[in-house]
Amino acid sequence: MKLVIAIIQPHKLEAVKRELEAVEVNLMTVTNVLGQGRQKGVTEIYRGAKEAGGLLNKVRLDIAVNEDFVEPTIDAVTRGAHTGSVGDGKIFVVELAQCIRISTGERGGVAIG
Amino acid sequence: MALSLRYAKPKRNFLKEASIMNSGDTAWVLTASALVLLMTIPGLAFFYGGLVRRKNVLSILMQCFIIVCVISLQWVLFGYSLAFGPDFHGIIGTLEWAGLAGVGAAPNSNYAATIPHSAFMIFQAMFAVITPALIIGAYAERVKFPAFLLFTVLWATFVYDPLAHWVWGAGGWLKSLGGLDFAGGIVVHVSSGISALVLALLLGKRVGYNHKPIRPHNLPFTVLGAALLWFGWFGFNAGSALAADGLAATAFVNTNTATAAAGLAWALIEWRHNGSPTILGAATGAVAGLVAITPACGFVNPMNAMLIGIIVAFVCYIAVAVMKGKLGYDDSLDAFGVHGVGGTVGTLLTGIFAQKAINPAGADGLLFGNLHTFGIQCLMLVVTVVFAAIMTFIIFKIVDAAIGMRVEEKNEIIGLDLTQQSEAAYTVIE
């Protein structure tokens, strides 16, 4: 089991969701996050006071998947979020020690899908 | 003969009585009073509330709201009498009208001959309310609530009330000199603005100021507040004619013209200087325009009102965006930069652009060959600045010694909403 964490541009969320549904990855957790990467932040100005490098809005998806779905998930997120410019985001893949479905108490791979 | 005439023509006498009290004037002044209330809550409350961090927004709304409650009562109990009551050597009103004794439906011809004395009183009450509320901008995000309360009552009593008497009260010594302040550039804006600067210097900077930019938490609130200020200011300025007449219309037109010019000018200045026109800039400029036209609106022509708006935008922009950063004081929401500086600009420009052709009861300014008026304006300014600064310093020291003005650092970091009001504006989790 792996946890795929994707940080993407907010306006790409719908496209990424469509691509994930196409490869039958339907379960995810989505949060609004702030961040900065190679794109750097924007400069904000309040009554002449400049704030350089303000953080940008991003969307984070947490997707738990079984081994067979790891590569399709990565491909789907990439297809949906790619524009080719800095700021498209990142995908992190980490080992997932356990998964428990609260309603039934099922554990492991069967609880993920 | 006279007796028989009176009895012979009762109708004419009745009409004469009716013409003393003017229902149009009364309706307008009462409406204007409500408009000026709208400037404090919700206008100023939201203008300032949007500019602070989310952890302090309720403290600002609370301070504005409680000032309306407290000063309304102070005004009825003794404030109105101190400011407008029977004169004592040009310095202060006596307490003869405390509790509004004798202030009723009959007009007082010293102030406004065609409206009930109580209508004049309640119109002035709203000015007394908003003036200490303007100072909130200087001490925002770091003052103890009890200290704020005590400071506000003392400031209203020992700064606002005497000053209002000097400039507006029958027999007031600055009024007798012939100074021009149509709607409160000196009494309201210079006094509160200077006091704001003194407080900002005495209180010190907010924790983290200069190391970390302090961003407004809700600019839409601020813009909503600025728009309500603009709207309410028609009551403030045009209402100061104390009649529904041509002078009120002149003040109304000048107010709108100067404000529009200042809002646009500020946006253009920062577009040129920083690369983007901001809504906070346009709103701030508009408020600066409102402040500057306040003393002038009943004395100048519309083209000069436009000029006043443009000039004040430049001067306040320099004060807020350049000077404040260089001098390093933390006037949190620019109460001094907008009201103190804008009020000063407006008072001086009134002494330049005023003309008797617009208001025969006024005077000609520098531009119309009269140096005297300009000199009086300068004198009024110096007197107000010195008086407000010294009194604010003394009141601060008293309150600081009695209760402590500033919150503990720990509480400042947590935020005033939770530590002073025990409530939160926004829930993150249901």
Kindly state whether A31 is in contact with chain B, defined as any CB-CB distance less than 8 angstroms: no
Q: What angle do CA A10, A11, A15 make, to 5 degrees?
A: 110
Asked if B276's CB is within 8 angstroms of A46's CB, the reply is no
User: What is the structure's pLDDT at B430?
Assistant: 79
Q: Which domain covers residue B375, as residue numbers?
A: 23-420
Asked if A51's CB is within 8 angstroms of B281's CB, the reply is no
As given in the structure block, the two tokens for residue B112 are: 């406004």
Kindly state whether A94 is in contact with chain B, defined as any CB-CB distance less than 8 angstroms: no
User: What is the structure's pLDDT at B17?
Assistant: 44
Walk me through the domains of chain A, giving residue ranges and CATH numbers: 2-37+57-112 (3.30.70.120)
In a domain, B14, yes or no: no
Asked if B215's CB is within 8 angstroms of A44's CB, the reply is yes
> Shortest Cα distance from A98 to chain B (angstroms)?
27
Asked if A51's CB is within 8 angstroms of B278's CB, the reply is no
Kindly state whether A50 is in contact with chain B, defined as any CB-CB distance less than 8 angstroms: yes
| Cβ atoms of residues B164 and B294 within 8 Å | no
Q: Tell me which residue of B127, B121, B124, B123 sits closest to B67, measured CA to CA.
A: B127
Asked if A48's CB is within 8 angstroms of B320's CB, the reply is yes
Distances (CA, A) of B330 to A94, B209, B253: 46, 8, 35
Asked if B322's CB is within 8 angstroms of A48's CB, the reply is yes
Which chain A residue is nearest to residue B213, measuring alpha carbons?
A51
Suggest the residue from B209, B280, B338, B341 to mutate for an interface test with chain A (most A CBs closer than 10 A). B280
Residues in chain A: 113
User: What is the structure's pLDDT at A52?
Assistant: 74
User: What is the structure's pLDDT at B14?
Assistant: 43
Least confident of B20-24, B67-71, B312-316: B20-24
Contacts of B415 (CB under 8 A, 6+ apart): B53, B55, B56, B59
User: What is the structure's pLDDT at A65?
Assistant: 96
Beta bridge partners of A94: A3
pLDDT at B421 over 90: yes
Handedness of CA B26, B259, B192, B213 (dihedral sign): positive
Kindly state whether A85 is in contact with chain B, defined as any CB-CB distance less than 8 angstroms: no
Q: What does the pLDDT average to over B278-292?
A: 98
Q: Cis (ω within 30 of 0) for the bond into B42?
A: yes
In a domain, B2, yes or no: no
What percentage of residues in chain B have a pLDDT greater than 90? 90
Using only the alpha carbons of chain A, give its radius of gyration: 17
- What are the tens digits of pLDDT across the range B152-161? 999 999 999 9
**Which residues from B are below 8 Å from A47, CB to CB?**
280-281, 284, 320-321, 334
In a domain, B39, yes or no: yes
As given in the structure block, the two tokens for residue B340 are: 């103190």
Note if the pTM is more than 0.95: no
**Which residues from B are below 8 Å from A46, CB to CB?**
213, 215-216, 278, 280
User: What is the structure's pLDDT at A41?
Assistant: 72
Domains of chain B: total = 1
User: What is the structure's pLDDT at B278?
Assistant: 96
In a domain, B71, yes or no: yes
pLDDT band at B11 (very low <50, low <70, confident <90, very high): very low
**What value does the mean pLDDT of chain B take?**
93
User: What is the structure's pLDDT at B354?
Assistant: 97
Chains A, B: CB pairs < 8 Å: 31
User: What is the structure's pLDDT at B3?
Assistant: 37
**Which residues from B are below 8 Å from A42, CB to CB?**
none
pLDDT at B90 over 50: yes
Which chain A residue is nearest to residue B320, measuring alpha carbons?
A47
ipTM score for this prediction: 0.77
Q: What does the pLDDT average to over A70-84?
A: 96
Q: What is the DSSP string of chain A?
A: -EEEEEEE-GGGHHHHHHHHHHTT----EEEEEEE-STT--EEEEETTEEEEEEPEEEEEEEEEE-GGGHHHHHHHHHHHH--SSTTSEEEEEEE----B-TTT--BTHHHH-
| Burial annotation B368-378 (CB, 10 A radius, 16+ → b, else e) | eebeebbebbe
Suggest the residue from A43, A46, A51, A55 to mutate for an interface test with chain B (most B CBs closer than 10 A). A46
**CA–CA separation, A96 vs A105, rounded Å?**
17
User: What is the structure's pLDDT at B10?
Assistant: 39
Asked if A49's CB is within 8 angstroms of B274's CB, the reply is no
> Shortest Cα distance from A30 to chain B (angstroms)?
16
- What are the tens digits of pLDDT across the range B114-127? 999 999 999 999 99
**Which residues from A are below 8 Å from B317, CB to CB?**
48
Residues in chain B: 430
User: What is the structure's pLDDT at B244?
Assistant: 97
Find the helix packing angle between B341-353 and B279-293, rounded to 10°: 50
Kindly state whether A32 is in contact with chain B, defined as any CB-CB distance less than 8 angstroms: no
> Shortest Cα distance from B333 to chain A (angstroms)?
10
| Cβ atoms of residues B193 and B345 within 8 Å | no
Out of B216, B273, B317, the one facing A46 most closely (by C-beta) is B216
pLDDT at B6 over 50: no
Which chain A residue is nearest to residue B217, measuring alpha carbons?
A46
In a domain, B29, yes or no: yes
In a domain, B35, yes or no: yes
Which chain B residue is nearest to residue A53, measuring alpha carbons?
B213
Q: What does the pLDDT average to over B42-61?
A: 97
Kindly state whether A46 is in contact with chain B, defined as any CB-CB distance less than 8 angstroms: yes
Q: Tell me which residue of B319, B332, B393, B389 sits closest to B138, measured CA to CA.
A: B332
User: What is the structure's pLDDT at B12?
Assistant: 40
Which chain A residue is nearest to residue B322, measuring alpha carbons?
A48
pLDDT at B399 over 70: yes
Give the CATH number for residue B147: 1.10.3430.10
Beta bridge partners of A51: A44
Q: What does the pLDDT average to over B356-365?
A: 94
Asked if A44's CB is within 8 angstroms of B280's CB, the reply is no
In a domain, B203, yes or no: yes
Out of A47, A49, A51, the one facing B284 most closely (by C-beta) is A47
Q: What does the pLDDT average to over B147-153?
A: 98
**Which residues from B are below 8 Å from A48, CB to CB?**
270, 273-274, 317, 320-322, 325
In a domain, B291, yes or no: yes
- What are the tens digits of pLDDT across the range A10-62? 999 999 999 999 999 999 999 999 988 777 777 888 888 887 777 889 999 99
Kindly state whether A48 is in contact with chain B, defined as any CB-CB distance less than 8 angstroms: yes
Asked if B278's CB is within 8 angstroms of A46's CB, the reply is yes
